[in-house]
A and B are shown apart, each in its own frame.
Chain A
Amino acid sequence: MTLLVDAFTILAVLAGLVFFIAGTTGLLRFPDTASRLHALTKADHLGLGLIVLGLLPRAAGIDGALRLLAIWGLVLLSSAAVGPMIARLARLRRPGE
Chain B
Amino acid sequence: MIADLLLVAAMLIVALASMLARQAFTAVALFIAYGLLLTLAWVRLAAVDVAMTEAAIGAGLSGVLLLGAVRRLATQASPPPEQPPGPAMTLLIALGCAALAAALGAVVLLLPNPAPSLAAPVAANLPATDLGNPVTGVLMSFRALDTLLESAVVLLAVVCVWALTPEGGWGGVPGAAQPVQRDGPLALLARALPPLGIVIAMHILWVGADAPGGKFQAAAILAAMWLLPWMAGLVTPPPIAARWLRWTIAIGPVVFIAIGLAGAVIEGAFLAYPPGWAKPLILIIEFILTASIAVALALLVIGTPDTAQRR
In the complex, the answer to whether B185 meets A80 with C-beta atoms within 8 Å is yes
In the complex, are the beta carbons of A81 and B185 less than 8 A apart? Answer: yes
A77 sits at the interface (CB 8 A): yes
Contacts of A82 in B (CB 8 A): 185
Contact A77 B184 (CB under 8 A): no
Q: How far is the CA of A80 from the CA of B185 in the complex (A)?
A: 8
Chain B, Cβ-Cβ closest to A87 = B185
A-side contacts of B20, CB under 8 Å: none
State how many angstroms separate the Cβ of A36 from the closest Cβ of chain B.
Answer: 15
Could you tell me which residues of chain B, from 165 to 207, have a CB within 8 Å of some CB in chain A? Answer: 184-186, 188-189, 192-193, 196
Q: Per-position contact with B for A73-87: 1 when CB-CB < 8 Å, else 0? A: 010011011111100
Q: Which residues of A contact B186 (CB under 8 A)?
A: 81, 85
B185 partner residues in chain A, CB cutoff 8 A: 80-85
Most buried by A among B184, B185, B186, B188: B185
CA distance A80 to B186 in the complex (A): 10
Pair B189/A81 contact, Cβ less than 8 Å: yes
- The binding surface of chain B is classed by DSSP as helix
The digit string for B44-76, where 1 denotes a CB below 8 A from any CB of A, is 000000000000000000000000000000000
Q: How far is the CA of A85 from the CA of B184 in the complex (A)?
A: 8
A residues in contact with B196, CB < 8 Å: 74
Question: Are B189 and A84 in contact, CB atoms less than 8 angstroms apart?
Answer: no
The docked-state distance in angstroms from the alpha carbon of A78 to that of B186 is 10
Residue of A at shortest CB range from B190? A81
Size of the A side of the interface (Cβ < 8 Å), in residues, is 10
A20 CB → nearest B CB, Å: 15
Q: How far is the CA of A20 from the CA of B184 in the complex (A)?
A: 27
Chain B residue numbers with a CB within 8 Å of A78 are 189, 193
Contacts of A77 in B (CB 8 A): 189, 192-193
Minimum CB–CB distance for B78 against chain A, Å: 20
A82, B184: Cα distance in complex, Å: 10
Closest residue on chain A to residue B196 by CB atoms: A74
What residues of chain A lie closer than 8 Å to B193, measured between beta carbons? 77-78
Residues of B within 8 A of A83 (CB): 185
| CA A83 to CA B186, docked complex, whole Å | 11
CA–CA, A61 and B245, complex, Å: 42
CB neighbours of A88 from chain B (8 A): 184
The closest CB in chain B to the CB of A81 belongs to: B185
Nearest-neighbour CB distance to chain A for B228, whole angstroms, equals 10
CA distance A78 to B197 in the complex (A): 12
Contacting residues, chain A, for B188 (C-beta < 8 A) = 81
Q: Give the distance in Å from the alpha carbon of A90 to the alpha carbon of B192 in the complex.
A: 25
Q: In the assembly, what is the distance between CA of A85 and CA of B231, in Å?
A: 13
Closest residue of B by beta carbon distance from A80: B185
User: How far in angstroms is the closest Cβ of chain A from B231?
Assistant: 10
Interface residues of A in 47-85 (CB under 8 A from B): 74, 77-78, 80-85
CB of B188 to closest CB in A, whole Å:
6
Which residues from B are CB-within-8-Å of A74?
196
Cα distance, A73 to B186, chains bound together (Å): 17
Cβ-closest chain A residue relative to B193: A77
Cα distance, A84 to B181, chains bound together (Å): 14
Q: Which residues of chain A are within 8 angstroms of B192 by Cβ–Cβ distance?
A: 77
Residues of B close to A80: CB separation below 8 A = 185
6 A-B pairs with the lowest CB-CB distances in the bound complex, closest first: A81-B185, A81-B189, A84-B185, A85-B185, A81-B188, A85-B186
Mark A residues whose CB is within 8 Å of B.
74, 77-78, 80-85, 88
Q: List 5 A-B contacts (CB under 8 A).
A: A78-B193, A81-B185, A81-B189, A82-B185, A83-B185
A80-B185, A81-B188 known; 5 other A-B pairs, CB under 8 Å? A78-B189, A81-B186, A83-B185, A85-B184, A85-B185
